[in-house]
Amino acid sequence: MRIRYKSPKGNGIMTFHETATVENLTLQLYCETGTEKFEIRYGWPPKPLDLKAKDVSLVSLKMNGETLTVVIDEPEPTAAASISKPAKEEARIKLNRKKTVDAGDVVIPWPEREGALILRVMPDDNSCLFTAFGGVFQKENASASLRREVASSILANPEIYNEVVLEMSPERYCSLITQPDRWGGAIELGILCDIYDIEICSVDVKSGRVDRFGQGKEKRCILCYSGIHYDRIAFSFCPPPHTSTDMPVTTDVTNWLADDDEVLIKAVELAQKLKGMHYFTDTTDFVLKCNVPGCNWIGSGDRQAKDHMKSMGHTSLSEMQIS
């Protein structure tokens, strides 16, 4: 069964099984639009769909081939409310890192393979995980589509991704993860490795630990995790002494056979070099300052940051360099 939809956030086509219900339709639109509050209109003349009738089948409503109009109910906040209202507990703190590197600064020569292992630095835009992983498959502007794929997988596997695992309802989690300012983490890596049938190795800069998602798959890719940020590790061909490269990103080697442990050894070596440059954030004791004009708050650690966010509604923070 195919159903089209039109919404302020885009248009698309959804596919459902013949046993699908209004609840299945509603959950899928959560993922597609990234919002919980909306009205669905169908038929001609357009009439509202009763979203409380969750168990009504879409077949009985003759939805196959229908085009739905999605009306999003999200009133714009007033200026006063946006200043004084505390942020929701589920909001994520927007952090600006104190330390960044240029791609050319982090090169691990690999003469045996006539090139070098390098760090491809991702933007600090809260979508670094999705951008880093999307680049493995040369996906441009991959964040939005990968977020939707993650949300769809969560809703399709309620026995795995339940409220206990997600620490909130699956519907709420999917609504949040499809937003561009929501960070991804271990849950998303675990889902993406299955969707794309590739092992994802996440190398932690501070500890040198390699977390592996999707073990047993034929191919692997490698990401670099620095506490609050993900970058992509890639191989680039370059001439001796293999200490620099000017090859474009499109020529990168970004996946390897899963039994190629030599690349993991090189990746850990790269992480050690980054650690020496203090290219990581320790979220247990890092020092932060608030970027909101007029607020002079300074605190330490993730807990104090969240407390400030809840009490004041300020989510733009920067890590401070303490020397």
Catalytic residue numbers, as ranges: 125, 128, 229, 314
C-alpha–C-alpha distance, residues 133 and 110, integer Å: 23
Question: Domain limits of the chain?
Answer: 2-72, 84-93+282-319, 100-276
Q: Does domain 2-72 have CATH number 3.10.20.90?
A: yes
Q: What is the pLDDT of residue 37?
A: 78
| 81, pLDDT greater than 60 | no
Weakest-pLDDT range from 9-13, 130-134, 142-146: 9-13
pTM of the model: 0.66
CA atoms within 13 Å, Cβ hemisphere of 8: 9
> What percentage of the chain exceeds 90 in pLDDT?
45
- Helices 22-33/170-177 angle, 10° precision: 30
Name the average pLDDT for the chain: 83
CATH architecture of 100-276: Alpha-Beta Complex (3.90)
Q: What is the pLDDT of residues 205-244, one digit of tens each?
A: 998 999 999 999 999 999 999 988 999 999 999 999 999 8
Q: What is the pLDDT of residues 140-192, one digit of tens each?
A: 788 999 999 999 999 999 899 999 999 888 988 998 898 888 889 999 999 99
| 193, pLDDT greater than 90 | yes
Q: What is the pLDDT of residue 235?
A: 97
